[in-house]
């Protein structure tokens, strides 16, 4: 297993994961009919860096990291993670999230924010909470789930820098 920075040459092997997750419409605010050109822009062109989780030559997961805002908010990053459906439940998202926090610190970010976590994505909410992210906001009925209708979207946040000790 390795997590490495992706190149644009990896897109053909990442695209099936993105296509399937987007088509399901259950976890990302992407169009369900997302086309490859827009996927390339969202996952490879716009982020600061993109990574892949590779095992025996197969890409089983991917994530990106980018600044959440510009200017005074540029010290907080945003990440998006996707795991191939056949590889879920194996700790890949955990490994990528831990890796992304190391990368974020190395890039100078002080905090990490997930802007739009579907409240129905219980696996992700539980994982992010276990990894130290707090729910800091709830957007009522902001996510239109394909089978559950309008559900809340959560904003989750983690400060990456250790707090200064008080002595």
Asked if residue 111 lies in contact with residue 77, where contact means CB atoms within 8 angstroms, the answer is yes
**What CATH number labels 2-159?**
3.40.630.30
Q: Which one is predicted more confidently, 164 or 157?
A: 157
Q: Which of 100, 120, 123, 118 is nearest to 156 (CA)?
A: 118
- The pLDDT of residue 165 is 42
Between the alpha carbon of residue 37 and those of residues 24, 41, 64, 94, 121, the distances in Å are 19, 6, 16, 28, 26
Average pLDDT score, the chain: 95
pLDDT tens for 120-144 read 999 999 999 999 999 999 999 999 9
pLDDT confidence of 163, banded at 50, 70, 90?
low
pLDDT tens for 15-57 read 999 999 999 999 999 999 999 999 999 999 999 999 999 999 9
Q: How much of the chain, in percent, has pLDDT values that exceed 70?
A: 97
Whether the model clears a pTM of 0.85, i.e. scores above it, the answer is: yes
Domain residue limits, the chain: 2-159
Contacts of 48 (CB under 8 A, 6+ apart): 64, 65, 66, 67, 77, 107
Task: Locate 78 and state its tokens.
Answer: 């945003």
Strand order in the sheet with 134-145: 2-5, 49-55, 58-67, 76-83, 111-118, 149-159, 134-145
Q: Is the dihedral of CA 11, 47, 33, 89 positive or negative?
A: positive
- The pLDDT of residue 1 is 82
């Amino acid at each position: 297993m390795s997590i490495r920075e992706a190149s644009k040459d990896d897109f053909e092997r990442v695209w099936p994961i993105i296509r399937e997750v987007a088509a399901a419409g259950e976890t990302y605010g992407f169009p369900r009919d997302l086309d490859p050109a827009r996927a390339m822009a969202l996952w490879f062109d716009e982020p600061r860096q993109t990574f892949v989780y590779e095992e025996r030559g197969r890409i089983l997961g991917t994530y990106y990291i980018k600044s959440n805002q510009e200017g005074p908010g540029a010290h907080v990053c945003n990440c998006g993670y996707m795991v191939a459906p056949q590889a879920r439940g194996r700790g890949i998202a955990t490994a990528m999230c831990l890796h992304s926090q190391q990368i974020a610190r190395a890039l100078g970010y002080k905090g990490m924010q997930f802007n739009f976590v579907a409240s129905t994505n219980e696996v992700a909410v539980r994982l992010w909470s276990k990894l130290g992210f707090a729910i800091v906001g709830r957007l009522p009925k902001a996510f239109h789930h394909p089978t559950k209708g309008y559900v809340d979207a959560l904003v989750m946040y983690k400060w990456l820098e250790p707090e200064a000790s008080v002595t």
